[in-house]
Amino acid sequence: MKLIIYFILLIVPGFAQAQWIELGGFNTLSANNTIFASCSGPSGEIYAGGLFTNVNGKQYVAKWDGTSWSELGGVNSLAANGAIRAICTDNAGNLYAGGSFLNGNGNRYVAKWDGTSWTELGGINVLAANQAIRSLCIDPLGNLYVAGLFTNTMGKQYVGKFDGAFWTEVGAFNELSANNSIFSVHSDKNGNIYTAGLFKNDSNRCYIAMWDGTSWSELGGNNSLNASNYIACITSDSSGNVYAGGLFRNAGMKCYVAKWNDTVWSEVGGINALSANNNITSICFDAIGNLYAGGAFQNATFNRYIAKYDGSSWSELGGSNSIDPNAGSYSVISDASGNIYTAGSIVNSAFNKYVAKFSCNTEHDTITHTIPSGSSYVFHGDTLKVSGIYHDTLLNSIGCDSLVTLILTVLPNSLTETVSQNGITMYPNPTTSMVALSLPNAGTAHIKMTDMLGKVVSEQNTFKNECIIDLSSRSKGMYLVEVEQNGKRYRGKLLKE
């Protein structure tokens, strides 16, 4: 008698869960004032700095190592006497910090943590910034750039560069000649440097200045962005597109994220898609290209939130009103795993500030499907006719990306490969990878597979009368299959080729 078995088994071991949490647990950072800056390290560490102080009243950089928060370098090792406004790390794990804190000569400086000690980058009083540092970045070659309110001898703001040995003004002396504060400096993947802030062009419009290694220019040409107010943050994507946010507004008087695609400036998502009613202070990308924005803007119920753009539309990350509604965000960052962090004036019930983490704990959903030879199966728009393991990524309503895996088995034309032994039906048999088992009855069953030496190579429970066993990583040879169900025991043999 010919036997064709056709079934669908859907296994859902879990689902994507997401929430905003206090990184480290309740009050573990216990920051007593605003957090202005945060960044992730090459090994997944999270760093934070701002106005908050240690027990000696000194500002410091806090480090989250995955287990606990600590003062980087130990208590009072940096002993900053003013706010930390910018931090970043390089690929070697060194950390750099800048802000309004002063050295012994009364000047601002960039502090470097090399894993052992804090030092003034470049030597004592070499940068000698006469006003606050607001932004730091590293280019692909490891050069560090700094900008802020500090000025050169002509009284103009500029971008400073440290090449590992010397501090220099980027470009010829006074070439940028910014006429007001710089809030952001950024390097793209090609090493182009972008900077912006309150400084304006001849038309009294704020703009992004670009350094291409040869000269400074207005990105897009004169008045192309036409920003009506300051630009607070800049970032770029893997394709080299440049993005900016701030207090500048569109014709509808809404703040937005602007995008330069090397040809034209546009509003990300389209006109009024984000429709932010207040300033955007920080933007970043995650590892798979989603864009995030934070600031003082509010949703329809007047609560602040982190906005996410997935390439099609803007949404409130975590769902409506999922984060402290009264808190402004000064920093939004992503780590290599795609977790999103924000910090600023977010406060817990102990009235301390903290770093908030949005995490997607995704357990893969797996679909196992078997079809007869010659037919096909449509998986998320793809028509499949060949046995294999296929993946697709889905985005759910709370902003988490979840992975769905399909294990597809195509039955052979030769029905002799479908073998029934002592009530167990196995196909294909012999197999090269996966085998489908049909059991005598429905109900809880314990399935054990051993090699010919009696070593258990697979063991599982099922609540249905069918299951899939994956032998793709097992050695070739004969295996024994034993099923215990409803007080009875069934045995069969399976050949792995």
Mean pLDDT of the chain: 87
Q: Over 60: is that where the pLDDT of 420 sits?
A: no
Which range is least confidently modeled, 40-44, 117-121, 276-280, 422-426? 422-426
Predicted confidence at residue 16, as pLDDT, reads 39
Structure tokens at 277: 């009613």
Q: What pLDDT band is residue 289 in, cutting at 50, 70 and 90?
A: very high
Predicted confidence at residue 87, as pLDDT, reads 98
pLDDT tens for residues 441-451? Answer: 766 778 888 88
Evaluate the omega torsion of the peptide bond into residue 430 and state whether it is cis, within 30 degrees of 0: yes
Q: What pLDDT band is residue 492 in, cutting at 50, 70 and 90?
A: confident
Q: What pLDDT band is residue 325 in, cutting at 50, 70 and 90?
A: low
Predicted confidence at residue 333, as pLDDT, reads 97
Q: What pLDDT band is residue 14 in, cutting at 50, 70 and 90?
A: very low
Which range is least confidently modeled, 45-54, 181-190, 347-356, 479-488? 479-488
Confirm whether 17-361 and 414-496 share one CATH topology. Answer: no
Predicted confidence at residue 112, as pLDDT, reads 98
Q: Over 50: is that where the pLDDT of 3 sits?
A: no
> What is the SS3 assignment for the chain?
CCCCCCCEEEECCCCCEEEEEECCCCCCCCECCCEEEEEECCCCCEEEEECCECCCCCECCEEECCCCEEECCCCCCCCECCCEEEEEECCCCCEEEEECCECCCCCECCEEECCCCEEECCCCCCCCECCCEEEEEECCCCCEEEEECCECCCCCECCEEECCCCEEECCCCCCCCECCCEEEEEECCCCCEEEEECCECCCCCECCEEECCCCEEECCCCCCCCECCCEEEEEECCCCCEEEEECCECCCCCECCEEECCCCEEECCCCCCCCECCCEEEEEECCCCCEEEEECCECCCCCECCEEECCCCEEECCCCCCCCCCCCEEEEEECCCCCEEEEECCECCCCCECCEEEEEECCCEEEEEEECCCCCEEECCEEECCCEEEEEEEECCCCCEEEEEEEEEECCCCHHHCEEECCEEEECCCECCEEEEECCCCCCEEEEEEECCCCEEEEEEECCCEEEEECCCCCCEEEEEEEEECCEEEEEEEEEC
Predicted confidence at residue 58, as pLDDT, reads 98
Q: Over 50: is that where the pLDDT of 100 sits?
A: yes
Q: What pLDDT band is residue 417 in, cutting at 50, 70 and 90?
A: very low
**Of 268-277, 370-379, 428-437, where does the model show the most confidence?**
268-277
Q: Which of 310 and 466 is assigned the larger pLDDT?
A: 310
Domain 17-361 grouped into CATH 3.40.47.10: no
Predicted confidence at residue 438, as pLDDT, reads 76
Q: What pLDDT band is residue 414 in, cutting at 50, 70 and 90?
A: very low
Predicted confidence at residue 416, as pLDDT, reads 37
Predicted confidence at residue 422, as pLDDT, reads 58
Q: What pLDDT band is residue 481 in, cutting at 50, 70 and 90?
A: confident
Among 476, 474, 482, CA closest to 495: 476
Predicted confidence at residue 412, as pLDDT, reads 58
Q: Over 80: is that where the pLDDT of 419 sits?
A: no
Q: What average pLDDT does range 196-221 have in this prediction?
A: 97
Q: Over 80: is that where the pLDDT of 392 sits?
A: no
Predicted confidence at residue 480, as pLDDT, reads 86
Q: Over 70: is that where the pLDDT of 9 sits?
A: no
Q: What average pLDDT does range 267-278 have in this prediction?
A: 97
Q: What average pLDDT does range 401-428 have in this prediction?
A: 61
Q: What pLDDT band is residue 322 in, cutting at 50, 70 and 90?
A: confident
Predicted confidence at residue 428, as pLDDT, reads 77
Predicted confidence at residue 465, as pLDDT, reads 67
Q: Over 80: is that where the pLDDT of 191 sits?
A: yes
CATH number (2.60.40.3080, 3.10.20.740, 2.60.40.10, 2.40.280.10) of 414-496 reads 2.60.40.3080
Put simply, whether the predicted model's pTM sits higher than 0.85 gets the answer no
Q: Over 80: is that where the pLDDT of 375 sits?
A: no
Q: What pLDDT band is residue 426 in, cutting at 50, 70 and 90?
A: confident
Return the domain boundaries, the chain: 17-361, 414-496
Q: Are 318 and 18 in contact (CB under 8 A)?
A: yes
